[in-house]
Structure 1
Amino acid sequence: MFKKPLSTLKTSAPLRSSYRRKFKQRVVNDYGLSPEDGDLLVPEGLLSQKFSTYANEPGVVYLSPEGDPLWFSIGKGSDGLIPTVYTLWKRPNLLPFLSTPAAVVPKLIDGADLMIPGVVQYSATLTPEQLVSITRYHRDKLGPPLAVGTMAVSGETLRRADEEDTKGKAVYVPEARDIPPPQTSTKGEQSAAQGDDADAAEAQSADIAQPAEPVSTIEAAPISSRDDTAEGNAGMETLTHEHPEQAEPSLPPEDVSVCLRNALLQAISTTLGALPSSSYPMPASVFWSNYVLPARPAQVIGAEGPVDANAIDIKRSTYKTVKAFLKVCAKEGIVKIKESKGDVVVTGVSLKHPAVAGHQPHRTIQSVDAQREKAEERQRKAKEAEEKRKTQIQITELWRPHGHTLGWFVAAGVDTSNLYSIAQIRELFIKYVSSKNLINVNDQSYINVKDDEPLAYAISTRNQDTPEFLKRDDLLNRIRANMQEWYEMRTESGETIRKKGQVKPISIEAKVRQGRKTSTFITGFEHFGIDATELAEELRKACAGATSVSPQQGKPNELEVMVQGIHIKTVTDLLVSKGVPAKWIKASGLKEKKK
């Protein structure tokens, strides 16, 4: 359930009535709530429980009488009070929000920070270090809160991200996911509980983190990998159980009319304004469905909370019909229309109209859908790449202590019979240099080689003097050069093969032999577990040409597959499909003619 265990978790204790009242008043004042909301979010019988994270950071979690975490603080001397998702379920508008596609939610559940590429929508005003909630994106409504964190960037950065393809973190989270409730909640699994320092809450009345001002519109942020996307990081609060039902807020007809007018202005200033004159006249139905409706605000927050985007509809407005709406806009001079036999067609739009020129752009339903589709496409490609990686032959270059390097590995206190990867050798080297104080005091990028006899001998070469000092990478390269080369190969079937020597790539060479005949020759494939006869047969079908298998010239123990014609790309694609990484395929010789 939790990424890392807590260092300590003390017994929970009820909060005294006087301190509970101070606590409630603090929440009411700082979050602009009514006393009734204060009683809901800071109930009678509130419990406090001290803890320390795995990093020994102190904190306190406040729990309901049933054991549900409601608030927490973390960090020595911190007076910042953070609500949990349990609290946000009761008051969804307590914090500004960001929404993310369903594909990103599992990453959050695993404890990841929210990356900029994974943001689809967000509140209009956001500032760094501001508390925010994270929801799953839904086209027609705002999803329930799933996580709580602090902004890593501003809303302006998110707005620029689409054009600049900005990457990085959008939301940081505290280390509170390590905090379990004192008992198992029947509501389901949680990956974080959150609370505040009990002594500070009882003894002080300091201000807590200020919530954002209520927003009237919701904007969409750009999508990246998330891919981007999304490495695990400490501190994200997430819940995977079902959420309480929320009433769907409505919007007055006047406000719907304003939203539709803004959608028209948005469409004129973007898509409609860029159309050639030949696009007109345009049927009102096409004008409305293809341009105005997609330009509606991605979401609007009314007096009762976020409003379903589908509520911004002509039937819910004061106009009731598209025809009536267009007539009003035509009188203003925003559009030009023509009526014939009861039907309306749009003959033009006015880019220079003051209302169009003064329009403030907003995130639209169309752009949010495009961002979501882009995010899903990136997730799909990332999944495909991961599946492809799993089917590839995994090759790891290894080295064994040998010759001059044996003494250095003994001095480092490791087994000289083991095989080591480049990462392991580097880690061992860093620890050794640090423990022996070999870093040059004048330039820390250099290591004092002659100050350590085992290290000096490990890099020594015949007929060359050992330098007094060297850069780290040069030292590592010299150590590896004096070690014995090995490699490990893991096939798709799970078989692991270890061999001494250097990995040699498969060679694909197109050249002329036997007069004027051009052929493609493949060698070195046997090291990758590929059978020569099977490869020749598959190439005969793929290249529609004659193939043969014969010993290599000068290497009678190794085979060569020949296929008539120049087929470098076809051969490469076939080898990749068999799991050979592209980096281990080397092509040379005559080039294929472009078709």
Structure 2
Amino acid sequence: MFKKPPQVKSSSNVKSSERRHLLVEICKQFNIEKENLSKDQELALLPAVTKQATYHSIQDHKGTIFFDGDEKPTWFRIRDSRLYPTVYTLWRAGYLLPVILTNPFVISRIVGNANLLLPGCIPPFDKRALRGALVGIASYDSPTVIRAIGTCLLNLTQFDDVQDRQGTAVTIIHRIEDELFNLYEGEKAPESVDDAFPAAIKQEPETDETEISDIANQGPGIKDTDADPVNDLAEAVDELSAEDLDNFFIRSFVQSVKVNKIELPLSASKFMADYILKNLPKMDTKYANIKKTTWKKSAKFLKALEKMKYLTLKGKGDDVNIVSITVPPDILANFVTHKTIESLKSSSGAVNKKTSDKMLVVSLYKPTNKTRMVFNKLDLDYQKLYASHELKEIMNTYIKEAQLASKKNPKLVTLDSALSSATSTFDPEVSRDKLFPSFLKNFSPNYTILPPGGVLDASCVVKKGDPKKIKILTQTVLGRKKTTTVLDFEHFHIKPQVLAEELKNKCSGSTAIGPSKHNPAVLEVMVQGPHGNTIIEYLKDKGVLISFIDFEDKSKSKKKR
């Protein structure tokens, strides 16, 4: 279905109410009891930040793709059909689909756009693998890692042996390395996936404040704060209700007890300032106020905790002190810590440093016949790619070993036949500073573009020549209306959906994604208005050098004679 790149329009955030309806639809479609889902499992199914965008494929398929906050596709649907999970979602919720096993060779054929034939299947089959059922396909050497999804064309449960059988077992809908999968880069298939179906969650004895039982069951046993999806939950909601804030304040209390040594007794105001407000989940600071909760006052909040038997107070009215904390050990053991407002403030410097990471264009050079003799005499690999500083070191090493430096003036080099051929220079003596540019010209240029934080290794894709320039064009359409289009940007690790979304905010104008008029195989992003300079600055901030940007302004009217 996604053999060719889909034309995806710019994405927009799904409202929290729409997200809840979407989650209910997913649970209903895949026979999941929503009440059995832990918070981790719920966010694995549908991230707190969910975006949607419509798409149109070359095969005339129209539908909707859902993304997470990093523009990773999570679900898709064709027109008003059922929802289909992407392999990215199935790597986090492997229990969603029955799995048909095959061998690695068949997986490679499926990646090459083939369907799954019956002889390529490995019995026994899941009882859900009936005609018309949506199934996942995995290799027997990693049976929980789904590599493709498709629709069963046969009742596979009737087959105990597939030898000498014929026919197509599964029609492939989506797979790894198709164009839907390639909308996101940076995640490789895991070694294994937890495919346990969500079971009923054991609840603590309920009290008047049921929020605590929710807290105890948000990802029991997980200790890694970076893996906690609650970290970004407060940021994902447009408007926090008082009930949501109540839950966040209770979480803050439990986290304060778990990660801090609290010396008692302690006044209510001191406890709120030193612990509760500092341990609130990461959110807009305007909500970090007890007055926005249903309790309105610190004393009422603490008395609610006392009613839950989590602490003991002493005093009357609003003048109370905490004299003991009695949170059950199992609640503390199962509680999943979250990133806090305080940690966000203290790490702002590190965040700024992280955001300064940019993509990097790495130039690499391959020796040619003209330079072969230099590499042969130094016994170096002639087929290898070299960076410019390595080539400069090679040239200097050759000059030293061949004793070509002038004795009267070390800045001058006497050329022998090998170095003369390698530099296309035939003067008897040449200065070192002029020699290297001539030496470099006789190498075949190559390049690779590293994403932010990327490193140069064997997995990098190296291409011949120089990177194609990003084209920016401002022109007048429909009389006085001006638009700016950007194309040839995807090889710089810039996704069309991300570019459209960010230009929409930076340029304060509507954006659209579509095929280029000059080359329909290439996607372009259009933004209303003359924003060439703004887009250039945006690209420079991303790490794109100005030498790789080609800007043309056709909107300026020609002067009349």
- In the superposition, the TM-score normalised over structure 1's length comes to 0.31
Structure whose CA Rg is larger: 1
- In the superposition, the TM-score normalised over structure 2's length comes to 0.32
